[in-house]
Chain A
Amino acid sequence: MEHFKTQKMKKILVAAITLLVFAGCNKTPVVPANELGGGVIMDPSLTDPAAYRISVSQPTPTAAQAQIPVIICSHGYSASTFEWDEFRTWANGTSKYYIDQILLAGHGTTYAAFKASTWHDWESTIVDEYNLLVSEGYKNIDFAASSTSCTLMLDLIHSGLFNNAGTTVHIFLVDPIIIPSDKLLSVAGIVGPMLGYVTADNAPGEDVYYYHYRPQETLQQLEDVLNTVRGELQNGLTLPKNVYVKVYKSIKDPTADPVSAVLVYNGVKTFDGNRIDINMINSDIHVFTRLSLVPNVTALDRQNQVYAFNDITTRIFQ
């Protein structure tokens, strides 16, 4: 009788676990039309690419134009070109440099497109834009990356993309993520399939620019790229001769754990064996350079943003 009860309990337990595991597999959220991902709102760079990318608005630069630095601005996971809009606004149409805002593959469109994308797809967007600008003749190409784009940039350095750069490539990493603040990402592979997706705690208004619903497949992709680049940093990443890297990291960050800065700083060496430049920023905002729609922005937050913008646009000429 006891044996029978134990067998029955085992079957119930197995059934319950199986149900739980597969319960989330086909779960798809209903994304409202007034949110990014719902199929109605799209990133504006898709309908008006010339307004966002110099590679589109000026594909055949003159010899003088080709010398002007281009800063490719690349956003983070689940974000959109919105993340670097304030940089463009602050630049105020200057003729000293061009701002080129890209939209990572799978982002700024639909939930389904995001779900189907991999971190290699996200990275390919950066590579394609860089190669396009090079082929168009631009000689000075730099990068301002935020959050997961920082992770992708480190992987691209590791891949050798910039090994033969003719001029200095300046790469600015704003709030790089190597260690996530949400440590449950470490079990995304186990918990994710049960949930199907997670819901982001976006601030009011942000759902137009940041995916509200994050498919568990993309969380696994995020975990994968973080672990990949963490391994690359552990093994040591030496910058090619013509690559300059600087990190700006908020000392408190609800998305990219501030310890990420430690891993980047300890993991990267310059060509001549030195450490990279780094500023630890007195901020609790993730991607402290983006303040629009952030609640309770302080005067210090604004100073931090302007400091970073000024620093970036000064160093690109060094």
Chain B
Amino acid sequence: MKKAFLIILAVTLCYFAKAQSSVLDLGLRLQKDIGLYSENGISINFSDKNLLPDRLYIGFSYFTSRIGTAFSSNAIKQDNFLISPAYYFRRDKLIRPFIRLNAGYFDADYGSPIFNVLPNKSLLLSPEGGVSIQTHLPLKISLSLGYNVITSNGVNNVPGTIYPFFYQLTLSWNILKHKK
């Protein structure tokens, strides 16, 4: 599953590099699971100039506790891969609400075969909503609150460290801006 995501990402980046008049935001995603870990990573979001430009986006994110709470600690090392269609309202305004639907994959490393009896992989599904600050610079700051639909209840074969609520901050740069 991880390899499939990485291949999709590589192909998509190649395509994006040629679509020079659209929006391609590359960014850092800083996520906090409410009540649990911080998980950080990268986020790539693209909007095609021919399809609801700067309104409809498709994104890819990878974020992990390895560069969050699990960095130099005994917290569980877990990885998240998301594909996310999103819609940004109020085009050309400074403050833009947006909604996003994430679908993806979660994988936790428990570190010992003793815990092979426990679930450590899961699909992810989460709606998100928030606001984006979009100046005339290529910089975009997005803040949102999300809800993981698939979580564990201790008996349902879902990893226990997927928590329901999270918020995230993405700082991104439109690498296609100023190119013609």
Contact = CB atoms under 8 A, between A and B. Distances in A.
B82 to A, nearest CB: 19
A135 interface: no
Contacts of B75: 234, 263
Given A234-B75, A235-B73, A259-B76, A265 B114 contact: yes
A304 interface: no
A187 interface: yes
A241 interface: no
A186 B160 contact: no
Interface in A256-290: 256-263, 265-267, 275, 278, 280, 284
Contacts of A254: 153-155
Given A183-B152, A236-B74, A261 B164 contact: no
A262 B152 contact: no
A262 B164 contact: no
A260 B111 CA distance: 14
Given A223-B35, A227-B35, A260-B160, A183 B151 contact: yes
A60 interface: no
A179 interface: yes
A233 interface: yes
Contacts of A256: 154
Given A265-B112, A280-B115, A186 B152 contact: no
Interface in B49-102: 69, 73-76
Interface residues of B, number: 26
Contacts of B111: 262, 266
A35 to B, nearest CB: 25
A186 B163 contact: yes
B13 interface: no
A305 to B, nearest CB: 19
A254 to B, nearest CB: 5
B166 to A, nearest CB: 10
Nearest to B76: A262
B117 to A, nearest CB: 5
A260 B154 CA distance: 10
A297 B35 CA distance: 34
A181 interface: yes
Contact of B154 (A258, A263, A278): A258
Residue of A235, A257, A258, A259 with most partner-chain B CB within 10 A: A259
Contacts of B153: 181-183, 254
B114 A252 contact: no
Interface string A174-196: 00000101111111000000000
Contacts of A284: 155
A275 B160 CA distance: 22
A27 B174 CA distance: 51
A42 B59 CA distance: 58
Contacts of B36: 179, 186
Interface of B: 34-36, 69, 73-76, 110-112, 114-115, 117-118, 151-155, 159-161, 163-165
17 contacts: A179-B161, A181-B152, A183-B151, A183-B164, A186-B35, A186-B165, A234-B69, A234-B74, A234-B75, A258-B154, A259-B76, A260-B160, A265-B114, A266-B111, A275-B112, A280-B117, A280-B118
